[in-house]
Amino acid sequence: MKVIAILSALATVAFAKSGNNVVSTDVARDTTLAYNGFQNADGTFDALVPKGLKDTLVTFKGNRDYERILLGFDMPSKVKDPSQITKCVLHVPTPKDAPSGSYSLTAFSASSNWDEATANAQTQITSVRQVGSVSVSDKDEKPGDIDITGACQAAAEGKFSIFLDTSGPAVTFYSHQANKDKFSVDITY
| Beta-sheet strands, E only, within the chain | 22-26, 29-35, 56-61, 66-74, 87-92, 103-110, 130-136, 144-147, 159-166, 171-174, 184-188
What mean pLDDT value characterizes the chain? Answer: 89
Are 134 and 103 in contact by the 8 Å Cβ rule? The answer is no
Confidence of residue 90 (pLDDT cuts 50, 70, 90): very high
- Does residue 87 or residue 139 have the better pLDDT? 87
pLDDT of residue 141: 79
Helices (H), the chain: 2-17, 149-153
Domains and CATH numbers, the chain: 23-188 (2.60.120)
Cα gap 34→96, rounded to integer Å: 19
Percent of the chain with pLDDT over 90: 79
What whole-number distance in Å separates Cα of residue 178 and Cα of residue 160?
22
Contact between 56 and 50 (Cβ < 8 Å)? no
Distance CA 38, CA 85 (A): 41
Q: Give the model confidence (pLDDT) of 46-66 as tens digits.
A: 999 999 999 999 999 988 889
pLDDT in tens, 14-38: 444 455 899 999 999 999 999 999 9
Q: Are 163 and 126 in contact (CB under 8 A)?
A: yes
Q: Are 187 and 123 in contact (CB under 8 A)?
A: no
